[in-house]
């Protein structure tokens, strides 16, 4: 088919679509909804992946955390055994920090409470502030940054001085007049603390955000937030990502020695890499992608049936036109290509509309979660290709039926 015939068939197809506008619009919408479901959800999953990767990369892909393994369940025969491990004590954590000579930054921290209320004069936060006892390396290993003020000094950590580094959400809640919070005295629970630093905000949509957290010196937690069997966590940020596995191995061996874990028994602690959490969550989006693809393909199957039906109706209604075209010299091939191009035009119009709607819907979700604007070029190309094949499959039988019509019978058709 040469270029002139292609453009002529496209022109005839558009004329036919305009002459049966309502029916064509409904068919285009069916195809558009299928592509919209496919492209929209896949765009949303791409934005979620981007969002998770960006947020967890703030911690650094060269960071791992050591925490107590609280519970282990063994199932064998008819007996279920539960073993509760001893918490990582402050002495064990500090000994690890002192002895760990690997090229890395090491910090020790513990969660004091997640239900604290922070007060300044007559203003206070909701009782959902997280208080974390940290050392002077924690802000570096956690991926946070100081926006205003400074970090803790080693002496403040050692002596448990009543100072605090707070998140931006807390500052916005209790400092209504926009005054400088550094140097102000606030109440966290039953203790009074002087603010020495304010964290750089990450936004409410961030997966890992300390905007609603207060950092206080590690030894201060033992005074104002004591509880039995308090367990301490260790965060390690290796200097070189290529040494990550070596650092994990070194840390495992050292902590086994410190906690006196016998040879042959499993560790009484667990080590989690920062990127493992992101990879685990990203892996879960794979099931959403599969579900979206399945839903989109089912919708497109219905669209294919609808498109074939409208083409068969169009062939029947244009029987006399087909007879006239054949009478003046149109070949079977020209008639077949005319109806095939018409099906493809309807499919591509529906695909274009579906792709536009899908990108918009997917990026609305991206906007809500605070991710970047995503243009899914792969899914756009896939949508165009899928629509082409859906239209091709739907148009083959009607176009062949039109091409095989007897011209004399077609001219006599009423």
pLDDT of residue 72: 45
Structure tokens that stand for 24 in this block: 């064509």
Q: How far apart are CA 332 and CA 338, in angstroms?
A: 10
Share of the chain above pLDDT 90, in %: 24
Spatial separation of the C-alpha atoms in residues 303 and 295, rounded to whole Å: 12
Q: Are 63 and 236 in contact (CB under 8 A)?
A: yes
Place of tokens 């606030």: 186
The arithmetic mean of pLDDT across residues 126-139, rounded, is: 91
Token pair recorded at residue 278? 């992101």
- Residue 348 neighbours by CB under 8 Å, 6+ apart: 384, 387, 388, 391
Residue for token pair 């506008």: 21
For residue range 44-56, list pLDDT tens digits in order.
877 777 776 666 5
Pairing of strands 163-166, 63-68: unpaired
What pLDDT, in 10s, does the model give residues 246-280? 999 999 999 999 998 888 788 888 888 766 666 66
Q: Tell me if 350 sits within 8 A of 300, measured CB to CB.
A: no
Identify the residue whose tokens are 């765009």: 43
Residue with tokens 């304010």: 198
Question: What pTM, to 2 d.p., does this model score?
Answer: 0.60
* H helix count then E strand count, the chain: 13, 14
Report residue 362's pLDDT band, with 50, 70 and 90 as the boundaries. Answer: confident
Length of the chain: 414
Q: Do 47 and 363 contact (CB within 8 A), yes or no?
A: yes
Long-range contacts of 327-332 (CB under 8 A, 24+ apart): 327/407, 327/411, 332/403, 332/404
Q: Which residues of 203-216 are buried (b: 16+ CB within 10 A; e: fewer)?
A: eeebbebbbbbbbb
Q: How far is CA 222 from the centre of its chain?
A: 38
| Residue 31 contacts residue 347 (beta carbons within 8 Å) | yes
157: pLDDT confidence band, cut at 50, 70 and 90? very high
Rounded to whole angstroms, the Cα distance separating 272 from 260 reads 21
Helix (H) or strand (E) holding 201, with range, is none
Q: Which two tokens stand for residue 377?
A: 């070029």
Contact 124, 214 (CB under 8 A): no
pLDDT-based confidence at 3, cuts 50/70/90?
low
Q: CB of 106 within 8 A of CB of 137?
A: yes
């Amino acid at each position: 088919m040469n270029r002139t015939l292609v453009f002529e068939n496209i022109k005839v197809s558009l004329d036919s679509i305009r002459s049966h506008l309502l029916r064509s619009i409904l068919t285009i919408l069916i195809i558009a909804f299928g592509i919209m479901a496919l492209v929209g959800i896949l765009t949303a999953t791409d934005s979620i992946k981007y969002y998770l990767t960006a947020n967890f990369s703030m911690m650094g892909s060269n960071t791992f955390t050591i925490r107590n393994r609280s519970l282990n369940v063994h199932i064998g025969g008819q007996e279920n055994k539960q073993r509760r491990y001893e918490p990582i004590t402050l002495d064990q954590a500090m000994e690890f920090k002192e002895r760990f000579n690997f090229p890395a930054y090491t910090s020790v921290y513990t969660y004091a409470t997640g239900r604290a209320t922070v007060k300044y004069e007559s203003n206070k936060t909701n009782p959902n502030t997280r208080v974390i006892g940290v050392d002077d390396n924690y802000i570096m290993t956690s991926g946070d940054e100081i926006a205003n003020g400074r970090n803790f000094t080693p002496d403040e950590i050692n002596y448990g001085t009543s100072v605090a580094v707070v998140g931006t959400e807390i500052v916005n809640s209790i400092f209504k007049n926009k005054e400088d919070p550094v140097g102000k005295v606030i109440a966290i629970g039953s203790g009074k603390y002087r603010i020495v630093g304010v964290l750089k905000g990450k936004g409410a949509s961030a997966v890992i955000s300390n905007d609603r957290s207060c950092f206080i010196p590690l030894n201060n937690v033992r005074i104002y937030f004591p509880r039995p069997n308090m367990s301490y966590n260790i965060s390690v940020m290796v200097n070189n990502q290529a040494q990550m596995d070596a650092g994990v191995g070194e840390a495992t061996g050292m902590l086994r020695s410190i906690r006196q874990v016998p040879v042959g028994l499993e560790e009484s602690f667990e080590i989690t890499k920062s990127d493992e959490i992101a990879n685990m969550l990203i892996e879960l989006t794979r099931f959403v992608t599969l579900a979206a693809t399945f839903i989109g393909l089912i919708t497109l199957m219905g669209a294919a049936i609808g498109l074939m039906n409208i083409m068969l109706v169009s062939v029947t209604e244009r029987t006399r036109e087909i007879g006239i075209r054949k009478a003046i010299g149109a070949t079977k091939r020209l008639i077949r290509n005319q109806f095939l191009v018409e099906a493809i035009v309807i499919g591509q119009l529906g695909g274009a509309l579906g792709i536009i709607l899908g990108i918009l819907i997917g990026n609305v979700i991206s906007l809500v979660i605070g991710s970047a604007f995503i243009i899914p070029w792969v899914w756009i190309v896939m949508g165009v290709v899928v629509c082409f094949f859906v239209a091709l499959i739907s148009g083959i039988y009607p176009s062949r039926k039109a091409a095989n019509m007897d011209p004399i019978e077609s001219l006599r058709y009423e």
